Each structure stands twice: as C-alpha cells, then as structure tokens.
Amino acid sequence: MKYRNITYEKLVEHLGNVSPVLDHPEELTQNVTAEITRIAAGRKKKRKIIRIAGWLSGAAACLTLCLPAYETAQSSAYRHADMKTSESVSSARATVGIREIKRTYDVGNPESVKTAIISAVRKKSEQRNRKERIYSVCLSKIPGYSQQKFIK
Amino acid sequence: MEQDKIQELIIYSKHGDTKTFGMLVTEFQPLVFRLAFRLLCNDDDAKDMVQEVFVRAWLQLDRYNPQYRFSTWIYKITANMCCDRLRSAKRARESTGIPSALSERENIASTENTESSVINSELKELILYFTDRLTPKQKTVFILKDVEGLETEEIEKITGLSAGQIKSNLHLARKYIRNKINSIS
C-alpha cells in the first residue's frame, strides 16, 4: 500500500508543511479585480439611478403638497379681493352720490335735500318730455306712423 | 503585511477603491487558495472559490468588524463557502449517484506546470484518501486545527461553533483518520 508507514502525526505534519501551489497568482488577482471593478461600476450606476429617482419623487411629492395649498391660498385671496372690491365699489358709489349732492345742494338743511330731490325728479321728467316731443315731431313726418302707435 | 497597513487598506477599500482592494487580494490570496484547496481538494474549484470569496468580501466589506483580524474574517468566508460547496456536492452525489462537479475536473486540469500539478495532485489524493468520509464540519475543523494550526478561539470565530462542538468534531475526525491509517497498516 502507498500509505503503509504513515502515522497520524506524520500525515498532519506533511499536510501542514506542503502547501498547494497556485499557478499564475497575478492572473487570478487580475480576474478578481476586474470582477470587483465591474460590480463597483454597476453599483455606482445603480446608486445614480436611485439618486435621480429620489430627486424626482421628492419633486413630485413637493408639487402634490404645494399645488393644493397654493390653490387654497389663491382662491381665498381672490375671495378676499372680490369682497374688498365690491365693498370699495359700493362705498365709492355711495361716496360719489353723497359728494354730488353735497356739492350741488346744502346738505346741512333737510328741507333743501328734499327740494333738491324734487327738483332733480322734475328735471328728469322735463328732459324725458322734451325727448318725447322731439320723437313725435320726427315720427309724424314719416308716412304711415301715427302718434298713438308711437305712444303704445 | 502589518495590521495597521491592512486596516488602512480596508478603510480605503470601504470607500470603493478597487486598487487598494486588489492589494488585499494579492496579500490574502494564498491563504484563501490554501484553505479552499485543502477543503475542496480540487485546483480549479479552489481558484473559483478564491474569486468568489474576494467578491463576497468586497460586497460585505461594510460588515467587517475591525476588532478581529482581516485574515480571520477571510478564513470565515472561505470556510463557510467551502462548507456550502461540500454540502451541495455531497447532496448531489447522494441523490444522483453521479460524481459531483467537484471531482469531475480533477484529472483534466493542470498540464501546464508539471511540478505544481504533481504537488497538488499528490496533496489532493492524500487529503481525499484520509478525509473522504468526514462531514464538512469535521473536515473544516480538522484542517483549521491540525493542518493550519489555528487556535480553538479563532476556529470558534471562523466556524461559529462552540469550543465543545469543535472538540467533538475534531475528536471524530481524528478517530476516523486514525482508524483509516490503522486499517492500512
């Protein structure tokens, strides 16, 4: 037998002393390094994609959160502005009316206000009558038109 | 290489420096190949294992604890991966009855360098002859303790077994080998 004179101690000693020989260790190192470089490049690319995806999702989340808030804020601002405008318009109208009356008549006296209103109404009706008269004269000159028809 | 230098290289490698990691590969490659060869008993499988071990080490470098020596960590990865390979080979052999890929290539490889191939084939034959029927755990403990000459404490870290388990596995391995020697003589 090949291992006839061997003992446990001899076997262990032999196995410990004789190491297996690695051919072309530098080639193996190169292979390992190349594999690692490939993995590292893949990881870098993956990390870049993840970073971009993160940025995009962050931006989308911001938009999702900000748009409703912006809309709410803007609609309330519009409502506020509308209210303010209507208030200012009505107050401006009122102011103009009062100012006009104040300018034309003596406001301090209630009798003069009453007189002013009456005279204003009278003035308007006079104007209307004058217009009607002019129209009736003009229409009487058109053949086939009667004053009665016009008045109706 | 000194421990401080190794730790420095590891820090650089953790930051993605492949060249620095290449230096670590050059330094620890013989150690990994030696253990892989003694466990797998195949030249090409041992070379494949070297590659796989260092790729895994690179991927898991963040998990490395600087409290332990880098060689212990590399030993641990190698031993675990070789044990897995031995288990799967054994399972394949048992289920199909066909010799696994581990032993298929043994006569094909290594025609280039005759001297090294002779040494390797003799070593392979010797290990296979005496440790063929050992379980992967028993074989690993026997190789680490009696052949590589590591302390029980370090073997505990490498294999994750307790001191008692190491002792019993080693006892069974030694008993089997002694019986085999006795049967020859």
Final residue before a domain boundary, out of A97, A114, A134:
A97
Find, in chain B, the residue whose alpha carbon is nearest to that of A4. B185
Within-domain flag for A133: yes
Question: CA-CA distance, A112 to B105, in Å (whole number)?
Answer: 126
Higher pLDDT, A113 or A50: A50
CA of B95 vs chain A CAs: smallest distance (Å): 31
Local confidence band at A75 (pLDDT 50, 70, 90 cut-offs): confident
Same domain, A71 and A42: yes
Same domain, A46 and A83: yes
Within-domain flag for A53: yes
Find, in chain B, the residue whose alpha carbon is nearest to that of A1. B184
Same domain, A68 and A123: no
Residue B124 confidence (pLDDT) above 80: yes
Domain range spanning residue A144? 105-152
pLDDT tens-digit map of B131-147: 888 999 999 999 999 99
pLDDT tens-digit map of B55-70: 999 999 999 988 889 9
Within-domain flag for A92: yes
Assign 3-class secondary structure to A15-51. Answer: HHHCCCCCCCHHHHHHHHHHHHHHHHHHHHHHHHHHH
Same domain, A40 and A93: yes
Final residue before a domain boundary, out of A97, A120, A136:
A97
Q: Which amino acid is at A105?
A: Y
DSSP state of A5: T
Please tell me the pTM assigned to this model: 0.66
Same domain, A67 and A121: no
Within-domain flag for A66: yes
Within-domain flag for A46: yes
Within-domain flag for A111: yes
Residues of A near B (CB-CB distance < 8 A)? 1, 3-8, 11-12, 14-16, 18-23, 25, 28-29, 31-33, 35-37, 39-40, 44
Question: CA-CA distance, B86 to B92, in Å (whole number)?
Answer: 10
ipTM surpassing 0.90? no
Residue B88 confidence (pLDDT) above 60: yes
How many other C-beta atoms can be found within 10 angstroms of the C-beta atom of residue B159?
20
Higher pLDDT, B17 or B167: B167
Per the structure, how many domains does chain A have?
Answer: 2
CA of A57 vs chain B CAs: smallest distance (Å): 27
Question: CA-CA distance, A133 to A127, in Å (whole number)?
Answer: 10
Same domain, A86 and A50: yes
Within-domain flag for A14: no
Fold of B3-184: Butyryl-CoA Dehydrogenase, subunit A; domain 3 (1.20.140)
Q: So where are chain B's domains?
A: 3-184
Same domain, A113 and A88: no
Question: CA-CA distance, B126 to B111, in Å (whole number)?
Answer: 20
Same domain, A120 and A90: no
